[in-house]
Structure formats: structure tokens, C-alpha cells
Amino acid sequence: MLQLLFGSILLSLVHAVIPNHWLPVVAIGKAEKWSQKETLMVAGISGFAHTLSTVIIGIVIGSIGITLSSNYEVISEKIAPALLIVIGLVYVIIDRFKNTKHNHDIHTGKVNNRSKWAIIVSLALAMFLSPCLEIEAYYFQAAAAGWKGILMVSAVYIFITVAGMLLLVYLASKGVRAIHSHFLDHHEKLLSGIVLILLGIFALFVHF
């Protein structure tokens, strides 16, 4: 459980700080001249919508992992950590050769004619339909601890992601420009891949 807690916190932090998760909210808020309170509210709604779809998929993956782990102990001890390493390597390779990114960019032009709630619903729906695949692999590892592990990963992921987005939106609204990192914006898969590799190695060789 300590391994799962550490890993879920680390992955959630990496996920939360990626600018294309929260910067569109800041851009839309400025374009619509929303108050800071309104912008934070929208950030919370869109962040929760995004994490909700990710968690739903993760729970499905975790339930499959529980079924397999209960029948084959080697899956939870060897195969699940190895899977993290393999997926991590895939993300690193994708970043190196294609530099693709997990994209939540929302078009912010010509939104003045829309109602506030139309914008909010559109943004939340876009985020809901863009679940983060990086943390889904970790649900297979969490399955080794049963439903308690899956629920813990889900709770940590939702809390840290939404709280991180709110904090960054708040800082951006205060004019803290340095938090918009070009590197973070274009290398999410590299960072996530490195974290997954480290977590996989850690799970293979370190046991509390």
C-alpha cells in the first residue's frame, strides 16, 4: 500500500502540472472576463470531469487485474511491474521520435457569443472524453492490493489532479507566468514514461 500511495502521488503530480490540462481554462477565463472565483469553479468542474473518466477506465482495468492476480500470484509480483516498465519505455520512445502529447487544448476564439454554461459544459465534456492513459497502467499494479488499492489510487489521483489544477489556475490568474513550461507542455509522455519505469523497477525489487 505504501508503494501504491507513493506511486499514485508521483503520477498524479506529474499529471497535474502539465499546462495543457489547466491553461485552456485560464485562457477562456480571460477571454470571457470571468472573475477568479468563476475561473476556479470551471477549473474544478473540468478537472473532476477529466479525472472521472480516467478513474472509470482505471477501475475496469483494476477489476480485471484483481481477477488475474487472485489466480496467478506471478502476475502481481512480476508481470504487473514489468508491464509498467514496458509501457514507460513505449512512452519515452514515442516522445523521442514523435514528440506527441496528451492534448486537452480547447479552441478559445469566438466564444463571446456563447453562454457561460455552454462554455463550461463544452470544456467539461472535452476533458471527460480525454482520459489520461498514463495512469491506467498503474491500476493493473494497484490490483495486487485488491479493491482497497484501486480505491486509494483513484482517490489520490482525483484529489491531487483537481487540487493541482486549481492551484495552478489560481497562480496563473495572479500573473505567475513562470509556471507555463514549454518543456512540460510538450514532454508529458517522457515524464510519465520515466515515472512508470521507476515505479516498475521499484515494485520489482523493493518490498515493504
At 133-176, the pLDDT tens digits run 778 878 888 888 889 999 999 999 999 999 999 999 998 877 65
Domain assignment present for residue 28? The answer is: yes
Q: Range with the lowest mean pLDDT among 28-37, 42-51, 114-123, 157-166?
A: 114-123
Segment 75-98 shows an average pLDDT of: 74
Domain assignment present for residue 126? The answer is: yes
pLDDT value at residue 194 = 79
Confidence of residue 2 (pLDDT cuts 50, 70, 90): confident
Residue 131: C-alpha distances to residues 32, 76, 91 (Å): 26, 25, 16
State yes or no: pLDDT of 31 exceeds 50: yes
Q: Report which of 4, 53, 56, 51 is spatially closest to residue 164, judged by C-alpha positions.
A: 51
Q: Report which of 77, 74, 75, 87 is spatially closest to residue 3, judged by C-alpha positions.
A: 77
pLDDT value at residue 28 = 84
Q: What is the mean pLDDT of the chain?
A: 78
pLDDT value at residue 59 = 93
Burial of 180 (0-12, 13-18, 19+ CB in 10 A): middle
Segment 55-63 shows an average pLDDT of: 91
Confidence of residue 208 (pLDDT cuts 50, 70, 90): very low
Segment 70-94 shows an average pLDDT of: 71
Q: Report which of 195, 187, 182, 190 is spatially closest to residue 93, judged by C-alpha positions.
A: 190
List of residues 6+ apart from 183 with CB closer than 8 A:
none
- Overall domain count for the chain: 1
Domain assignment present for residue 198? The answer is: no
Domain assignment present for residue 203? The answer is: no
pLDDT value at residue 96 = 76
Domain assignment present for residue 56? The answer is: yes
List of residues 6+ apart from 142 with CB closer than 8 A:
4, 8, 62, 65, 149, 150, 152, 153
Helix 19-31, helix 36-71: angle, nearest 10: 160
State yes or no: pLDDT of 7 exceeds 50: yes
- Expressed as residue numbers, the domain containing 127 is 2-73+101-107+114-179
Q: What are the cell numbers at 99?
A: 514528440
pTM: 0.73
pLDDT value at residue 22 = 83
Cα distance between residue 192 and residue 133, in whole Å: 10
- DSSP letters, 175-195, are T-GGG--HHHHH-HHHHHHHH
In terms of C-beta distances under 8 Å and separation of at least 24 residues, what long-range contacts does 56-59 make, across chains too? 56/131, 57/131, 57/136, 58/135, 58/136, 58/138, 58/139, 58/150, 58/153, 58/154, 58/157, 59/139, 59/150, 59/154
Domain assignment present for residue 174? The answer is: yes
State yes or no: pLDDT of 18 exceeds 70: yes
